[in-house]
Amino acid sequence: MTDAPTPGERSVAVVLAAGLGTRMRSRVPKVLHPLMGRPMLAYVLDVARSTTGRRPIVVYSPPTAAVRDAFADEADFALQEEPTGTGDALRAGLAAVPPAAAEILVLIGDVPRIHPGLPGALLAERRSAGAAVAITTVVTADPGALGRVIRDDRGSIRAIVEARDASPGELDVDEVNAGIYAFDGDWLRRRIGDLRPSAATGEVYLTDLVRLATEDGSGVTAIVAEDDGRLLGINDRLQLAEAEGELRAEINERHLLAGVSMADPATAYVEPGVELATDVRLEPNVILRGRTRVGEGTVIGAGSQILDSTIGRGCTIWASVIESSEIADDVLIGPMSHLRPGSVIGPGARLGNFAEVKNSRLGPGVQQHHMSYLGDADVGARTNVGAGTITANYDGRRKLRTTIGEDVFLGVDSMLVAPVRLGDRSKTGAGSVVTHDVPADALAVGVPARIRTPRGDVSTDP
């Protein structure tokens, strides 16, 4: 048995995710339940890829087939036809491992908070010891229903005994199995077929491989990990909530130490993919999701929710919702504004009370202060949008676009019926319904709007 893979050989991670997770009381497979905005399995796959440098193999079962759909672009898959235990799951996964793989890393899909460096350290420990098997253990004051690690008088590992099969003396052992393994590939291929169902439960235990390795003298080694709760599996919604609280606190601490201010970290919800520059300030009850990025010196006010959006420097977002949008520098938004997907807001723009924007581009310095809707519109620089202005962008079949020039003044309660264009420096009177293009420097007034040009021309059908 070699200490390290020879050239061309690789480590492969097998992730066990075949259990539905009945204690979650859900039709959704346990590993797809979200943890800070991502399925818990996503965190495990990240660690698997970073450790081995290749796509992991995920073992799923018919009840968890949704796992394959959710991660089709991120992993390869092996089907466990009937979930009859972790040993049978590993057998299914091993069938999908390339024959040249020298090492097999086994991870559990419901342990999302695993330290990223731990699996690599476990592989290194197995190579260094020249052992067939390396396991991760934890010494804990509350072993509960976890498998006990049984050692001999010299401290060598002899077996892992599941709690349901353990004797009273074995249940007193405080060292438990954390469920993370590294195997010599050739040895595992030879011995996986020797696993037998438990007499107590009828399940085929992966942990019995430890006993087989000690019996044939192939060697078992271990890393004893810190008992910090990160290796505990998530089995129900209470544990999921506890894990989310711990992860959220870690994320917030990282941002705080990097120069972000939080008025109340306990109420700041910042998902892992969010990027915050220095001197960003988060007020209470802020939610930042997805791939959101926030620029230096920006204030995200209380009650704001931002999803997959880019916010520039020196902005203020106050009690507003922003989805899949781009905000330039020095923009003020809110309170109670809503930017829907596809909105692009230019520098120095001001959006106020109950302003809604959808799939629109607002140029520099645009003012949209009160109770208005701009949908599928292009708005030129310094245009003023009067209260109650609406772009009527849907004709019952299609979404149509409105183009508004620079320095335009839209009067209160203007309705712009798309498709329509308003030229630079044009104006609309209060309550106007604009159904035709408005030339530059012209005034549109009335229902339907008539056009008045600087020469005094009036037209009801421009």
Catalytic residue positions?
Answer: 370
Task: Answer yes or no: are the C-beta atoms of 143 and 171 closer than 8 Å.
Answer: yes
CA distances from 75 to 55, 260, 338, 395 (A): 5, 35, 37, 44
Identify which of 276, 180, 258, 256 has the alpha carbon closest to the alpha carbon of residue 222.
Answer: 180
For residue 103, give both structure tokens.
Answer: 């090492």
Q: DSSP strand E in 175-334: where? A: 175-184, 220-225, 261-262, 269-270, 275-276, 281-282, 287-289, 293-294, 299-300, 305-307, 310-311, 316-317, 321-323, 326-327, 332-333
C-alpha–C-alpha distance, residues 195 and 183, integer Å:
15
Identify which of 454, 455, 448, 409 has the alpha carbon closest to the alpha carbon of residue 432.
Answer: 448
For residue 270, give both structure tokens.
Answer: 């910042």
CA distances from 127 to 90, 97, 185, 254 (A): 21, 19, 12, 34
Task: Answer yes or no: are the C-beta atoms of 24 and 55 closer than 8 Å.
Answer: no
